[in-house]
Structure 1
Amino acid sequence: MGTSLNLGLLFETGFTVFCYISVALLGLLVGSFLNVCIYRIPNDESVVRPRSHCMKCGHTLGALDLVPVFSYLFLKGRCRYCGEKISPRYALVELLTSVVYLLLFWKYGLSVDFLASAYLMSVLIAVFFIDLDHMIIPNKLVVAALVGGVLPFVYNIFRPMDIYVDRKWWNPLLGAFIGFGFLLLVAIVGYLVYKTDEAMGGGDVKLFAPIGLFLGWKMTIVALFISFVSAGIVSIVLLLLKKKERRSTFVFGPFIVMGTFFTYLFGWELLEWYLSTLLHV
């Protein structure tokens, strides 16, 4: 009996390790593809063709040049063909995607919740860097997120997802309405007050519609709260350090991405803590 239990435990541990390694490698591969999206989508280029090539010499990269992270380390951050320095951000995006996948797998295990959250966060990682570089959130990424949001919406009708908690079919739809509607209201009020459409970007408004589908209405509110609080804190710090003018443009997309990720990991715990604290006041 003892031997049988030990073998079972060993098998379970081995399978768990295998899953984590597989998820980490998957994250690296997806991160490599996201690098292509981050560079090409803002330039309205295909993410499929032409094949990946050096931005300096134009040489088509071979398979050994495209191994996530390891190629960058092996080549010491330079192109194999012309010696031009390669931005370390390529490796950073790959590592970041892998870490995000691992944390989501730690939270949700091998489940539909993991697949849905990993898909959304993949789109949002691309949003994060594109918005930082170009101060835009491409419609193609919003549409990609919306299409992916159909999965958790349909699945929730038959079996409740962890992020929703309940099986109410309208939960994700209400989440999309709250996310989109609230930011649209902020944009309208900002326009009326400041006489400019830069108070809230159109991309930010549209992006929270698919996020609401993935999170459901309660977690959408949490994600909105975290996004605005984190953006407010950073904005105040930048103002105090005189790194930013009060009326200057401020990218909100990265804070939406971070708020959504934090909500996936700790949203329900944060909401329960807040409600329990409120009840004891």
Structure 2
Amino acid sequence: MAFFYILAALVGLLIGSFLNVCIYRIPNNESIVMPPSHCMKCGHRLTVLDLVPVFSYVFLRGRCRHCGEKISPRYALVEMMTSVVYVLLFHKYGLSVDFLASAYLMSILLVVFFIDLDHMIIPNQLVIAALIGGIPIFIYNIFRPIEIYGDRNWWNPLLGALIGFGFLLLIAILGYIVYKTDEAMGGGDIKLFAPIGLFLGWKMTIMSLFISFVTAGVISIILLLLKKKDRKSTFVFGPFIVIGTFATYLFGWEFFNWYIGTLQMY
């Protein structure tokens, strides 16, 4: 079993290296395939020695091997985060369709996390990629159950997509009516919850929404108290969606069953 944990960690590192390319290039409307990876300053094409996830950054002391330009530590951070995410998901679901589905979605969401932080946008390409990945999961569930759904109803993921998309759309509409602004909820956030609903099913979509909003609320209050933000500041919601979805994958059903059990006590 230890072999599979190590394999999940290594695959996560490799995928994380690719996600770094996506995080940098997609907002700039650049191809994620061509040209090959290169130094942003000197343009020198990076070799295998420069591209070993995390280890290259450590051994090169965070600098380009050719021109000495400083490399952002975030490249190594993304690789390590992806590796940790893969290991935790494997620990939760083992080698299964649930693991493959969750790893696929979380890979896309990690890209969303950093792009939204940097540019305050969620590119349509990522939403489409997530939707495409959700289609085979929906089809597979018709024949064999997906654990995260909690049942075998074929319409479960479709209802999840409708709830996720519809709830945030409703918030956006109400925000526009009350505050006369379209900034109550970003369009990218609304669209992103459609594929998330496909992957999570309707019950866990509600759980993901709940965790996302609670996390966003707590962090926003802390930032306001620390005077890092003010009430007129714009808060990105994408990173909290990512946190909420990941937490749901790991603990969603446990929290849901605890909550239902608590209600039944009264």
TM-score range, shorter chain: over 0.9
Cα distance between partner residues in 2 of 1:27 and 1:269: 25
2:182 to 194, 197, 205: 197
SS of residue matched to 1:163: helix
Mapped pair 1:56 → 2:38: no
2:117 to 124, 132, 135: 132
Mapped pair 1:143 → 2:128: yes
Mapped pair 1:65 → 2:53: no
SS of residue matched to 1:60: coil
2:76 to 91, 101, 111: 91
The structure that has the greater radius of gyration is 1
- Residue 41 of structure 1 and its aligned partner are, at CA, apart by 0.1
The 5 Å alignment of 1:231-242 reads 231-242=216-227
Q: Note if contact 1:191-1:199 (Cα within 8 Å) is conserved in structure 2.
A: yes
Q: Note if contact 1:180-1:207 (Cα within 8 Å) is conserved in structure 2.
A: yes
SS of residue matched to 2:64: coil
Number of aligned residue pairs: give it.
Answer: 266
1:105 to 75, 90, 96: 90
- Residue 247 of structure 1 and its aligned partner are, at CA, apart by 2.4
Letter of the structure 1 residue corresponding to residue 172 of structure 2: A
Q: Name the residue aligned to 1:21.
A: 6
Letter of the structure 2 residue corresponding to residue 96 of structure 1: M
2:30 to 29, 41, 45: 45
The 5 Å alignment of 1:114-125 reads 114-125=99-110
Superposition TM-score, scaled by structure 2 size: 0.99
Letter of the structure 2 residue corresponding to residue 272 of structure 1: N
Q: Name the residue aligned to 1:185.
A: 170
The RMSD of aligned alpha carbons is 0.7
CA shift digits 1:206-233 (9 cap, x unpaired) = 0000000000000000000000000011
Q: Unaligned stretches of 5+ in structure 1?
A: 1-15
- Runs of at least 4 residues of structure 1 off by over 3 A? none
2:202 to 203, 213, 217: 217
Cα distance between partner residues in 1 of 2:22 and 2:81: 15
1:78 to 32, 54, 63: 63
Letter of the structure 2 residue corresponding to residue 246 of structure 1: R
CA shift digits 1:160-179 (9 cap, x unpaired) = 11101211100000000000
Cα distance between partner residues in 1 of 2:247 and 2:113: 14
Q: Name the residue aligned to 1:227.
A: 212
Superposition TM-score, scaled by structure 1 size: 0.94
Q: Note if contact 1:54-1:60 (Cα within 8 Å) is conserved in structure 2.
A: yes
Q: Unaligned stretches of 5+ in structure 2?
A: none
- Residue 37 of structure 1 and its aligned partner are, at CA, apart by 0.1
- Residue 87 of structure 1 and its aligned partner are, at CA, apart by 0.3
Letter of the structure 1 residue corresponding to residue 145 of structure 2: P
Letter of the structure 2 residue corresponding to residue 69 of structure 1: V
Mapped pair 1:260 → 2:240: no
Q: Note if contact 1:131-1:254 (Cα within 8 Å) is conserved in structure 2.
A: yes
Q: Note if contact 1:116-1:151 (Cα within 8 Å) is conserved in structure 2.
A: no
Cα distance between partner residues in 1 of 2:228 and 2:6: 41
Letter of the structure 2 residue corresponding to residue 103 of structure 1: L
- Residue 239 of structure 1 and its aligned partner are, at CA, apart by 1.4
